[in-house]
Structure 1
């Protein structure tokens, strides 16, 4: 809808004053026009006057919860709206309100007629504006009151069938003008609609505002900005647009959209999707709104201690956000999805929605970075990051995704080991959490366990007060044959590793050395069989129990290495001589 069409529509409902509003926007003459039923003031404001007045009233006075219209004629109609009583006259009210006309006709023509109106959109505050309009006083329309007044006009059936230029037509025109022309005004309208949601949906106000925002978010800012009051806003939005362009993100409208209530936000996002906005921008906007919403909520570790209605609202909110997410790949980050999963678990949302979210995160693990897994805890005694949520997703990946023979399991192994290395220094990270994540992946998810050992060693270093039993439990997944030569040597010299693990590694090293020397024909004093017997007895009886013995065994290993090296050199010399002889 163009400004010209709006102007023509305004003229049809006898509101010639729109010319002045348009003139103000373009910098033309700002003097008041000749007599008219509407005249403009500041941008986003308008004053309306009824065309015909049935009764002249001197004033509208308020006494506590009672309103009195002062005229030369006694009041003969009382209308109760909420806690307020309006002492009025039948003639001006029924001449413009079809709803009141019908009720007065049904109740008869007696004096002191009383009518109670329930659920009037906008309540007593809006009805005060209706009364002013019916009695011929000027009514100031703004972005903050136009929607409730428009809904109230429909509720009271104030159509042009009763009187030309009635309240429905005049509020409709100004409402359309605001929705079309003003970015700021559209959000003010939506804010005023929060208490009258049913009427807003029925009269399509929410849909019209959402489509307007979506159109403007997808269009150049200069195409819709107007008015003196929007000058500062325009400058701010232009700065945001320039910054967004330099960063490669078209997000200048995020902050305004993030101020909306969840039901209005959903409607706006759906409209923006329908306009063809890129899915990653839509996903970023949802993340922005969620971050702002979560900052207003205090979570308890076990349960959210709130009233049932508040719990239900928050549960519905998080479920709606998850359903609202774009389905396109890479439209939202893994970190944001993990945050939603964490909140969803706290809120105890629908299990089907949780499973859907877990599945989506699990499929993303193969392309994630370690930083994507960092979801903070907020309790003083909790670990810095929520390790449990990552373990949950990794276990889901192993249970369901691996069955489809995904080819990038090693990428997930590197991801988990990198994450373990990053969180290992956290003093509040308990043994159970670290071990559960380390063991969540199967053995075949890693080429070798070097990175896992590095993370384990960092954890042991950051937690020196662990008991021997705890250290053994956290190192039990370290296997000799899955570590590189350098890592095995580090284990045997590492005083933080439990003695039992170090002993096993030293003995296995001896066995390997003995095998190599025996295969090369060495006359070393201990045979292969003897070495194996010693290892079995030592491990079974626990006879090796001191660091001193470990050092002695390590020296023997070094001696064996030197002998093995000598044997290899001798073997090479013999092979060279043999080749010369054959030639």
Structure 2
């Protein structure tokens, strides 16, 4: 008589089962092939599984199926367990003629769109626990698609009351974990599912986000979820786990539309990432993402403390990399509006770091010159920053001070700033002379522009041009009138005063021409009105 239990099965070291070898192997292709190759006696056989998906619980469910002639109740809560066990044991045969276990679980999965949200979360967690088998069999992909389809549908406007339950069954949610009131509020929030998906690890998170993108879930919502995931996971993670989470989140953010990622949030995780041992590649990706949105940054974002081991107050190297990333991202040309915003931001930052006694001159100069000259309409703020730096670093040599002034464009200094520079003892005399010469050249250029006004004023159609030139003349007078140069530059001051007189004469001429052109224009308009009042001839 055949022994009823002639096979021992050790399942992952959790539990040892005594089963009938013939019954189990008749359903399991894996055991069938194993015993067909074995030359051992039929008694005292033992099989050890170290990676059985679902462990002892899953194996027991499978045994019930085998001992019950290929029949078992399959529910959403055990479909994943049975599917993974069936694929692991290669249960594609059926001696009873009924569907095998793999086919039966497939039929159950066809109804996955009717599962409640909590049932989907159970299935998702199980797929994660049995990742290799669930992924290979395609079970994980189906589960992920079902979850993300549900999220995509839930993000759409709520259906009308007339929508039937069968038509809307794809977005039904479980009420066993949420009250009716909380469920209503869930529909009004785009983030109701964030906490539920914290069950995913880094590997599953990548697949989840990939599925979200495929289902066209809003990228802004995905980015919010990733920031939430990183922050929540860090509460219970050790340092090396945090590094892995950070690298995963950064990689996934790179796959989203840049405009969907808030600049403030990127700076938030940057500060966290700087304290972790993340890879250089991950850091570069994060800095490139921030650099592309540098025009949206604030001064507080840039004031990142310097790394340990450095004496300076702020991490100026980081800011340099971010600005360079900003310029590199705009290889086809950065829009002027964005460029000027970044220039204004850098002026604020440079003014903030200039008083740092540990900031090297080479680093200050690199910050001041990282942007092209045309990014700034005025260099007044830069001048004040250089002035502040020279005041704090009084020990610089004359040559070093001259080198620091390479950051300035003297032609873009206002009259007030130029006046201050001419009387500033912290600046070398050579620099003051260069600045005054530059201002002299600027005034000469403006005078030539004003002089050209007289040559084109005789044309009746140049009235608007004359007005513009007149405005330029006024600016020149104001500009030159504010200058009060030091006694060390008497010659230059005399020349500038002479030019100022010439500009005043040109201004009077411009005003006179403007008055004349206004009279001419009024006369033409009056004449035009009279001609229009005449009756038209009949055709």
Q: TM-score when scaled to structure 2?
A: 0.62
* CA–CA distance in structure 1, aligned partners of residues 49 and 319 of structure 2: 55
Is 1:419 paired with 2:346?
A: yes
Q: Which residue of 1 aligns with 2:117?
A: 183
Q: Which residue of 1 aligns with 2:248?
A: 317
Q: Which residue of 2 aligns with 1:272?
A: 212
Is 1:161 paired with 2:107?
A: no
Alpha-carbon offset, residue 81 of structure 1: 2.8
* CA–CA distance in structure 2, aligned partners of residues 515 and 170 of structure 1: 87
Counterpart selection for 1:206 from 116, 121, 140:
140
Q: Which residue of 2 aligns with 1:478?
A: 408
* CA–CA distance in structure 2, aligned partners of residues 447 and 226 of structure 1: 58
Secondary structure of the 1:317 match is: helix
Is 1:487 paired with 2:438?
A: no
Conserved in 2, the CA contact under 8 Å of 1:480 and 1:505? no
Superimposed CA distance per residue, residues 345-396 of structure 1 (whole angstroms, 9 cap, x where no aligned partner): 950338xx95x8877766655x544469648558567778654334224335
* CA–CA distance in structure 2, aligned partners of residues 337 and 154 of structure 1: 43
Conserved in 2, the CA contact under 8 Å of 1:410 and 1:445? no
Is 1:126 paired with 2:72?
A: no
Are residues 480 and 296 of structure 1, via their aligned partners in 2, closer, same or farther at CA, if it must alter by over 3 Å? Answer: farther
Are residues 568 and 391 of structure 1, via their aligned partners in 2, closer, same or farther at CA, if it must alter by over 3 Å? Answer: same
Is 1:391 paired with 2:320?
A: yes
Q: Which residue of 2 aligns with 1:239?
A: 185
Conserved in 2, the CA contact under 8 Å of 1:516 and 1:564? no
Are residues 273 and 514 of structure 1, via their aligned partners in 2, closer, same or farther at CA, if it must alter by over 3 Å? Answer: closer
Q: Which residue of 2 aligns with 1:60?
A: none
Are residues 408 and 98 of structure 1, via their aligned partners in 2, closer, same or farther at CA, if it must alter by over 3 Å? Answer: closer
* CA–CA distance in structure 1, aligned partners of residues 149 and 305 of structure 2: 39
* CA–CA distance in structure 2, aligned partners of residues 459 and 89 of structure 1: 84
Alpha-carbon offset, residue 85 of structure 1: 5.7
* CA–CA distance in structure 2, aligned partners of residues 295 and 570 of structure 1: 70
Q: Which residue of 2 aligns with 1:147?
A: 80
Secondary structure of the 2:352 match is: coil
Any unmatched runs of 5+ in structure 1? 1-54, 56-72, 245-249, 300-305, 521-550
Alpha-carbon offset, residue 203 of structure 1: 2.0
Q: Superposition RMSD on alpha carbons, in Å?
A: 5.4
Q: Which residue of 2 aligns with 1:332?
A: 261
* CA–CA distance in structure 2, aligned partners of residues 390 and 119 of structure 1: 49
Q: TM-score when scaled to structure 1?
A: 0.58
Secondary structure of the 2:128 match is: coil
Is 1:88 paired with 2:22?
A: no
Residues 457-476 of structure 1 correspond to what in structure 2 (within 5 A)?
464=392, 467-468=395-396, 475-476=405-406
Secondary structure of the 2:177 match is: helix
Superimposed CA distance per residue, residues 523-581 of structure 1 (whole angstroms, 9 cap, x where no aligned partner): xxxxxxxxxxxxxxxxxxxxxxxxxxxx9946987x969x94998499869x89xx9xx
Structure 1 or 2: larger helix share? 2
Alpha-carbon offset, residue 485 of structure 1: 1.3
Are residues 445 and 271 of structure 1, via their aligned partners in 2, closer, same or farther at CA, if it must alter by over 3 Å? Answer: same
Any unmatched runs of 5+ in structure 2? 159-167, 448-483, 513-539
* CA–CA distance in structure 2, aligned partners of residues 416 and 287 of structure 1: 29
Conserved in 2, the CA contact under 8 Å of 1:475 and 1:501? no
Is 1:505 paired with 2:452?
A: no
Matched positions, count: 443
Alpha-carbon offset, residue 156 of structure 1: 2.0
Alpha-carbon offset, residue 100 of structure 1: 3.1
Counterpart selection for 2:203 from 257, 263, 281:
263
Residues 12-23 of structure 1 correspond to what in structure 2 (within 5 A)?
none
Alpha-carbon offset, residue 415 of structure 1: 1.0
Quick check: 502-511 or 382-391, which moved more?
A: 502-511
Counterpart selection for 2:371 from 431, 438, 441:
441
Conserved in 2, the CA contact under 8 Å of 1:126 and 1:149? yes
Quick check: 379-388 or 109-118, which moved more?
A: 379-388
Secondary structure of the 2:259 match is: coil
Superimposed CA distance per residue, residues 410-440 of structure 1 (whole angstroms, 9 cap, x where no aligned partner): 6424413313414743669834544322211
Superimposed CA distance per residue, residues 150-180 of structure 1 (whole angstroms, 9 cap, x where no aligned partner): 2012222445724547654665566665664
Superimposed CA distance per residue, residues 500-524 of structure 1 (whole angstroms, 9 cap, x where no aligned partner): 347743785599689999xx9xxxx
* CA–CA distance in structure 2, aligned partners of residues 479 and 423 of structure 1: 16
* CA–CA distance in structure 1, aligned partners of residues 302 and 437 of structure 2: 42
Conserved in 2, the CA contact under 8 Å of 1:421 and 1:454? no
* CA–CA distance in structure 2, aligned partners of residues 298 and 419 of structure 1: 36
Conserved in 1, the CA contact under 8 Å of 2:26 and 2:93? no
